[in-house]
């Protein structure tokens, strides 16, 4: 019995010695600051990481997350400052890119009514280019100067009619080029108060009649020049109604007509075949 009990006693003593040695080693490492940081990091990796991502895996040195659900997401740079922001609102979503100074360089916004806009800015945060579209079929491109003032825009209105606009330094429309039904083209020169002062137009159908119009300060036409079948005609208007017309016949004979407030013809002054003046009245 004595012989059999000796190995058991020795093994117990050795195990006790090993436990004491392991405890001493752990105590020696745990007293160091980096050991506590290591334990915290391992806890966050294996426990919190699993809770937040569900089933995180590693591939090519990166954490691969199957899905992530949140209302706001912010990506920061090495300096801790935000570089990318993704957020949702009750009306849509916003995606933004920022520089190191926190200024917006680009943002894309979608609204609940289907409108989408993309804005590009310079390093100072000044608008330079805006792209927009809507579910109604309209779309536009707008260019800005160094002060953030619009200077040019190209747009398609609801019926797919293109419009090209040029602006002055105050951001006011000055020249508008557009096409409409039947390829009817117009170029408008706009004055103070967003009112037309000069209007150039051309009928894009087989008739192909060009015309020029001058307007008063209220944007009401006062003079129009039209080329009909190679015969020029100039109209003088009052409050938008033709009161007098100067025209040339096919053979070159001039004629002047005078009309009343209702544009009813009152009299015509012309010349005969011999060049003598003739007139007729209503």
pLDDT tens, the chain, 282 aa long:
444 444 444 455 555 555 545 455 545 544 555 555 555 555 555 544 544 444 545 545 566 777 778 888 889 888 888 999 999 888 889 999 998 888 899 999 988 777 889 999 998 889 999 999 876 667 899 999 999 999 999 998 767 788 999 999 999 999 999 987 767 889 999 998 888 999 999 876 666 788 999 999 888 999 999 988 778 999 999 988 999 999 988 788 899 999 998 889 999 999 887 778 888 877
* Nearest partner of 150 among 132, 133, 173, judged by Cα: 173
**In the structure encoding, which two tokens stand for residue 44, read together?**
């966050």
pLDDT of res. 252: 83
d(Cα 97, Cα 73) in Å, to the nearest integer? 12
Pair 188, 174: CB distance under 8 Å: no
Quickly tell me which residue has 């990481």 as its tokens.
Answer: 49
pLDDT of res. 203: 77
**Distance from chain centroid for Cα 167:** 17
Pair 109, 116: CB distance under 8 Å: yes
pLDDT of res. 246: 94
pLDDT of res. 274: 79
Q: Has this prediction a pTM greater than 0.75?
A: no
d(Cα 208, Cα 170) in Å, to the nearest integer? 36
pLDDT of res. 214: 94
pLDDT of res. 40: 53
* Nearest partner of 242 among 215, 268, 218, 224, judged by Cα: 224
Quickly tell me which residue has 């806890």 as its tokens.
Answer: 43
DSSP codes of every residue in 32-57 = SHHHHHHHHHHHIIIIIHHHHHSS-E
Spatial neighbors of 245 by CB under 8 A, at least 6 apart, are 233, 234, 235, 236, 255, 256, 257, 259
**Residue 275 DSSP class:** S
**Distance from chain centroid for Cα 278:** 62
* Nearest partner of 161 among 182, 141, 146, judged by Cα: 182
């Amino acid at each position: 019995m004595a012989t059999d009990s000796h190995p058991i006693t020795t093994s117990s003593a050795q195990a006790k010695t090993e436990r004491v040695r392991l405890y001493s080693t752990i105590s020696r490492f745990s007293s160091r600051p980096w050991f506590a940081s290591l334990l915290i990091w391992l806890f966050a990796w294996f426990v919190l990481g699993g809770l937040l991502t569900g089933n995180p895996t590693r591939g090519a040195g990166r954490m691969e997350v199957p899905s992530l659900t949140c209302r706001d997401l912010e990506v920061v740079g090495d300096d801790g400052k935000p570089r990318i922001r993704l957020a949702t609102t009750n009306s849509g979503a916003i995606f933004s890119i920022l520089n190191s100074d926190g200024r917006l360089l680009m943002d894309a916004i979608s609204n609940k009514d289907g409108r989408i806009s993309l804005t590009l800015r310079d390093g100072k945060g000044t608008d330079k280019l805006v792209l927009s579209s809507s579910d109604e079929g309209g779309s536009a491109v707008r260019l800005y100067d160094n002060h953030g003032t619009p200077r040019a825009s190209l747009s398609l209105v609801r019926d797919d009619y293109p419009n090209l606009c040029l602006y002055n330094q105050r951001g006011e429309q000055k020249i508008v080029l557009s096409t409409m039904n039947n390829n009817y083209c117009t170029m408008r020169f706009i004055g103070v108060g967003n009112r037309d002062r000069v209007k150039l137009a051309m009928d894009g159908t087989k008739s192909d009649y060009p015309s020029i119009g001058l307007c008063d300060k209220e944007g009401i036409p006062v003079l129009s020049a039209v080329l009909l079948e190679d015969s020029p005609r100039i109209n003088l208007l009052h409050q938008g109604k033709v009161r007098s017309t100067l025209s040339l016949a096919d053979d070159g004979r001039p004629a002047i007509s005078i009309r009343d407030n209702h544009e009813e013809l009152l009299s015509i002054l012309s010349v005969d075949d011999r060049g003598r003046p003739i007139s007729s009245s209503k």
